[in-house]
Structures are given as structure tokens and as C-alpha cells.
Amino acid sequence: MIKTNMVSRGSNLLKVFAHLMKEVVNPEFCLGCGACTASCIHRVLDMADERPKLTGRCELCSVCYYQCPQIVGHGELERHVFGRNATAKETIGIHQRAVSAQTSDDEIRTRCQDGGAVTSLLASLLEADFIDGAVVTASDEWRPISKVATTRAELLECAGSKYSRGGVLLGLRDAVELYSCERVAIVGLPCQIKAVRRMQASELAVYRLTDAIKLCIGLFCMESFPYEGFSKRVIEGKLNIKLAEVVKFDIKRGRFLIYRRGKPKRELALNAIEKVVDTPCKLCDDFAAELSDISVGAVGSPLGRSTVLLRTRVGAEAFEFAERTRTFDVRKIETVKPGIGLVERLSVSKKRAAKEEIERMRRSGKPFPPRLQEESTP
């Protein structure tokens, strides 16, 4: 159990939804992860424009506030997951093993973003009944939508990166309540995995949800782009590209690539779209999804392969099971280029950028999310 800025359970000083709005949502620190909404035991919260909103009378139960990942710092959650904090040398977080993987499945290879590691892993775990559902991200014209996949075909429908955040924890609620899943894998960005860990560690945990979480798979992420600010205003508005004709987004060598059906691809320099990156991303210092059971990303591996970091016992167990079924071609990370060093450099770079942003905000007197308030004190 993790302590936050709350007093004992039953005290009238417990914080409620109004505090969440004041401290996180209104100052635009909300990640849109859906943890608060999914956990609302009175069903009076919904998500609108990637933010929680009341749809009925708040019962002042405090559950929503204590699910929010912007309330508790990374270090406390890291200790909850691993029993210790990463050392200064563990720049990509605590992990047991690092490999480069590529799916052995031709169908998955044609649909996946890079090496197909996530889709192949989930497919093999579903087939073996290691898990009975996976919370993944689908899209409606590239607007991220949380979806519960229980079959290989449903996984294939959701393959590929979306580059915008979504309410992934709403998918956990659906998996438990609509699909009766008891062993759920969740795939998410670092901030979304942090939300999962916050829910698991919460003083007011909703156990019907958290007890169903079997595996957390985190995706490498330097930054994501708000759907309205980027996909609608930049892609459709400024570039005059219809989202319906986009078949894939990708980021390679500092360029944002837009692949279109039957038309030439378009490119944008990443530094040209930095202004649409929102505050939660600028304050995030986690590139390699350090709180996950397994982290996956293209960085560090050759084109067409994925770098995989096995962090926890359950993560290693899941991957090794799939490995035994010849789901992947697996190579030691030391045998491929550019190698783990590039992952480490990008991780350090993101941590440095977050510190610089925090310092800029401190100097300007701007508010901080609760998880950073103590760190921001001069």
C-alpha cells in the first residue's frame, strides 16, 4: 500500500472527484487513461474529449482520486512493482533480460508495426489460455479506442501504433464486466502502464478490476500527440490529408511518416510538431515503460524487429512460454545493431527533457501535478 496526501480511510479529509478536477484535470495534467472512470463504483463518471466528467451526483467515495497516476511518483510505484528502485546505472529501468525479436508468423508480420512481438506474444498466450483477454487499442479514423481482444483475429484488427493516448483502463473494465475475463493482459504506453500500477497499489483499489490483471506490456514512447490537436488539426487541417485514407503512422530517424492508401507517403520533421505535444507528455520521464512486466519497441533493433525487455517474473514467464512455441525469432540484444545503447540514450534524453520542463515550470510559478509538487520545491 502506498501513502499519498490523504489521511486514514473513513476521515472526511479524503480527497474526492472535485479535488481531481482541481489538481489534475483543469490544469491539463490529465492523461485520459480512464483509471478514475473505470473505477467509479457508483457509475457517475464518463469520458468526454479524453477527460473524465460527472454524469450524476458524486457520492464522495474518494475512489476515483486515488486511482490517478498523476497523484503518486514513479519511485513509489517502482518499489511496489519490483521491491526496490532502479539504480543510476539502470537507465532503462529494472529488467532481467533484453532481446531482439521478430514474429515467425507471416500474417502478423504483414500487419504489425515493427517486429510483431506484441501481437505474436498475445496470440500465443490467448491460444494457450495463459490469458483470457487482452486490452489493446483499436482506432476509429485514428482516434484511439480501447478494445478487448479474445481471439487472434481481434488482435490483428488492432495491430499497429496509434501515436495518441486513449482510455485504456476503460478496456479493463469491459474485459472484467462484459467479457468476464479473469486473466487480462494490458498493452499501453508508459503513462497508461503507470495508471495500471497506481490502481493496483491504491489504498482504495477496486479489486474486481485489479485482481484480473495478469500481464502489463508497455510500449516505448518518446511522446504522443493529442488526437484533436494533431490528427484533426495538423493531419486533416494543415496537411489536408483525410484520416480515412491513412493506413499507417510511423516514426523513423526524427521523421513522422504518414502512409496513405494508393498515394505517396508524407513526412513531417518531429521538431515541427513539438508544439502539439501536451503538458503530461512534456513532464513524463519514462521512455521504456519501466513499470511494465514486458517492454517492447522498435528502438535498438534492426528494421523489422522489436526490442523486448523482460522486467518481472511473470513477464519473463509469459515471453519464455511463447518463445518455446517458436512464436518468435529471438536474438540476444548484444548481437544486433544499433543495440541497447540507443534505448539507453533515448531514455536518458527523455528524463533530461522532463527535468528541464519541470525547472521551466518552477521558475514561471506554474502549478504541478501532485506527484511532482514535492520535487518542485526549490
pLDDT digits (tens, 9 = 90+) for 340-352: 999 999 999 999 9
Query: So what's the pLDDT on residue 374?
Result: 56
94 and 88 Cβ atoms separated by less than 8 Å: no
The pLDDT of residue 143 is: 84
Domain 227-276 listed as CATH 3.30.70.20: no
Percent with pLDDT over 90 in the chain = 72
pLDDT given at position 3: 41
d(CA 124, CA 280): 34
Which tops the pLDDT comparison, 243 or 296?
296
Q: How far apart are the first and last CA of the chain?
A: 29
The residue ranking higher by pLDDT, 230 or 297, is: 297
Q: Where are the alpha helices (DSSP H) in 10-67?
A: 17-20, 35-39
Please state the rounded mean pLDDT for residues 314-339: 95
Given a cut of 60, whether residue 313 has pLDDT beyond it is yes
Contact by Cβ (8 Å): 203, 217 = no
The pLDDT score that the predictor gives to residue 10 is: 47
**pTM surpassing 0.85?**
yes
Strand ranges (E), 201-286: 213-219, 246-252, 255-260, 263-269
**14 within 8 A of 354, measured Cβ to Cβ:** no
Residue limits of CATH 3.10.450.750 in the chain: 227-276
| Prior bond of 264 cis (ω within 30°) | no
| Residue ranges with strand state E in 59-212 | 97-103, 133-140, 143-149, 184-188
| Average pLDDT value for residue range 27-34 | 96
At residue 198, the 3 state secondary structure works out as: helix
43, three cell numbers: 457509475
- 3-class secondary structure, 117: helix
315: nearest Cα among 196, 217, 175? 217
Confidence class for position 117, pLDDT limits 50, 70, 90: very high
Question: Quick one: average pLDDT of 50-67?
Answer: 97
Q: For the segment 175-229, what is each residue's pLDDT rounded down to a tens digit?
A: 999 999 999 999 999 999 999 999 999 999 999 999 999 999 999 999 888 888 7
